[in-house]
Amino acid sequence: MASKPRLLTVLDIVTALLMAAAIYMVFIFAPMERVMGAVQKVFYFHVAAGWAGMLGFFVAFVAGIVYLITKQSRWDRVELAGVEIGLVFMFICIVTGSIWARPIWNTWWTWDPRLTTATIMELAYAAYMMLRSGIEDPERRARFGAVYSIVAFISVPLTFFSIRIFRTIHPVVIGSNDPTAQGTFNMTPAMGQTFAFSLIAFSFLFAALLWHRIRLGKLQEDVERLKLQLQS
Amino acid sequence: MRTAVTRPAGTPFVRSMLAVVWKDLAAEWRSKEILSSMLVFALLVILIFNFALELDASARREATAGILWVTLAFAGTLGLNRSMAVEKDRGCLDGLLLAPVDRTAIYFGKSIANWLFMLSVALIVLPVYSILYNVNLFNPGLLMVILLGSEGYVAIGTLLSSMAVQTRMRDILLPILLFPVIIPVVLASVKASYGYLQGSAMTDIQPWITLLVASDLIFTAVAFMVFDYVVEE
Amino acid sequence: MEGPAETTAYFIAGYTVIFGTLIVYLTSLVMRFRRLHQDKALLTDLQSDEEKASLQEESLGTLS
């Protein structure tokens, strides 16, 4: 395998710096929210993780389409990397959301559209992992994986709208203000800056992880090929 | 020449599609294994619900739509799995794929056959349920919802079951793959059925019907576009 | 107006989950990388050994 590209090293360093800065902003720079107190600070990384998770599933969706058209195994690696990292970030998003909901909504769990959609998504992509593990032939595994990553991603907006028709209590912090939502707050400029910075930091973290995971996939493939060569 | 052979109507696509449907129905007519297993299973699920939920008259009215769709969804996976596994085991799938027909004709043929199986199960379950629980289920709105809901269900179900049978886990995998993506269809069907059974205002039911039709269209289109890649060897 | 609610414990729990999960994932990536590098080194060694062996066999074959 080729040695680590210089750009990746740069990306790693930039990501580490951005994450350190984002942590500083969340813990020290951002002001304490007047009503909710410290737990409101979970919001910054909660939304950023949700964003990174969606990004991962979207990357997998696009890579799935490109794989079916080109049949190049590198797109399969991109797709698997996107799903795996998406699962990690979505998990963070769901658990932190639940922790935030406990003091604010007074319950660990509620069947809110976003919460439910995120959980169903997590289950669908867990099913994706099981599908892949059930197929030995790498070419077929890639094809089926691509098909399922497309189907799973298409169903996400439908799931969301279907649950949306129920009443929601999820706060919409950015954009419209729904008076029935509980736990809404107005962002001060410092909060806005912290929030924007968290999003940027998580985007970089996502990109760096994705790149590393794709390289891991390449290495895995090389090892498998070597094994096959030795057996024959 | 033209008068000697009475050719079935339609383009080659429609003809090969109907041939697949016909083949499935004829095979089922001989063996009856898919329909009978789906049916017995569906009735058992309804019985278990009766014990599990302690249904009194008012609870019954509330829960009927949900019970009906859970029963249909579970029986549906059973039928989908069986109908694809039969193809795979007897080597029919390979034969079909070797035949010089459009792959998507095979997809639509299998989907229609599965749809018919699901509808026949519903057709028997509905009167049985009506008798057992003393609820009148013969409601044109409900019948339409069953038609639409099972279409969306088999559209994705046929695609995913043809993937599942080609893996190591086969039977277990289909529900795991299918349920997370089919939620919009099932949810919209339950809510629309509930609305019709309760005699709700059309404005309450309309969003669910819209969502159901939209899901049906999107799922059918996606499955149609990617089916080629699932069966290609 | 009362002060902010006392929710520090939830705040700490939230960030423990975030960093915990990220660290676990990073560790798993590093471990997988390390194992695969080892496997690869081992396999390349085996392969070169085998090549040598087959070369020797060939030369033996030409001698006899």
| DSSP line for B36-99 | HHHHHHHHHHHHHHHHHHT--HHHHHHHHHHHHHHHHHHHHHHHHHHHHHHHHHTTHHHHHHHS
Would B6 be classed as within a structural domain? no
Q: At what angle do helices B202-231 and B140-164 cross, to 10 degrees?
A: 20
d(CA A155, CA A120): 10
| Chain B contact partners (≥3 CB pairs within 8 A) | A
- A28 to chain B, closest Cα gap in Å: 40
Choose from C25, C37, C52 for mutation: most chain A CBs within 10 A. Answer: C25
How many beta-carbon contacts under 8 Å exist across A and B?
83
Chain C meets chain B (3+ C-beta pairs below 8 A): no
- B82, B33 contact by CB (below 8 A): yes
Work out the burial of residue B52: count CB atoms within 10 Å of its CB; fewer than 13 is exposed, 13-18 middle, 19 or more buried: exposed
Cα B9 to chain centroid, rounded? 26
Which residues in chain C touch residue A209, judged by CB atoms under 8 angstroms apart?
25, 29
- Rounded mean pLDDT of A21-47? 83
Residue C5 touches partner A, C-beta closer than 8 Å: yes
Find, in chain B, the residue whose alpha carbon is nearest to that of A165.
Answer: B207
pLDDT value at C1 more than 50: no
What's the total number of domains in chain B?
Answer: 1
Model confidence pLDDT, tens digit, residues B63-92: 888 999 999 999 999 999 888 888 888 777
pLDDT at position C46 over 60: yes
Percent of chain B with pLDDT over 70: 95
Contacts of A62 (CB under 8 A, 6+ apart): none
Give the pLDDT confidence of B38-58 residue by residue, as tens digits. Answer: 999 999 998 888 888 877 777
Is the model's pLDDT at A171 over the cut of 80?
Answer: no
Instruction: Determine, yes or no, domain membership for B89.
Output: yes
Is A226–C50 a contact, with Cβ atoms under 8 angstroms apart?
no
B7 occurs within a structural domain: no
Spatial contact of B215 and B152, defined as CB atoms under 8 Å apart: yes
Distance from CA of C6 to the nearest CA of A (A): 6
Chain A residues within an 8 Å CB radius of B167: 131, 134-135, 144
Measured CA to CA, the distance from residue C6 to residue B230 in angstroms comes to 55
Q: Residue B4 domain-assigned?
A: no
Name every chain B residue with its beta carbon within 8 A of the beta carbon of A146: 229
Please state, in angstroms and rounded to a whole number, the distance separating the CA atoms of residues B172 and C37: 35
- pLDDT, chain B, mean: 86
Q: Which residue has the tokens 């449907």?
A: B21
HSE, CB side, 13 Å, CA atoms: give it for residue A120: 26
- Structure-block tokens of residue A98: 């639940």
φ and ψ at residue B9, rounded to 5 degrees: -70, 160
Query: Per residue in B179-203, pLDDT tens?
Result: 999 999 999 999 899 889 888 888 8
Q: Is residue B19 part of a domain?
A: yes
Rounded Cα gap, residues B128 and B132, in angstroms: 6
Which pLDDT score, from 0 to 100, does residue B77 have?
92
Q: Residue B57: which domain range?
A: 12-231
Q: How far apart are CA A224 and CA A229, in angstroms?
A: 9
Determine the angle formed by the axes of helices B140-164 and B103-133, rounding to 10 degrees. 130
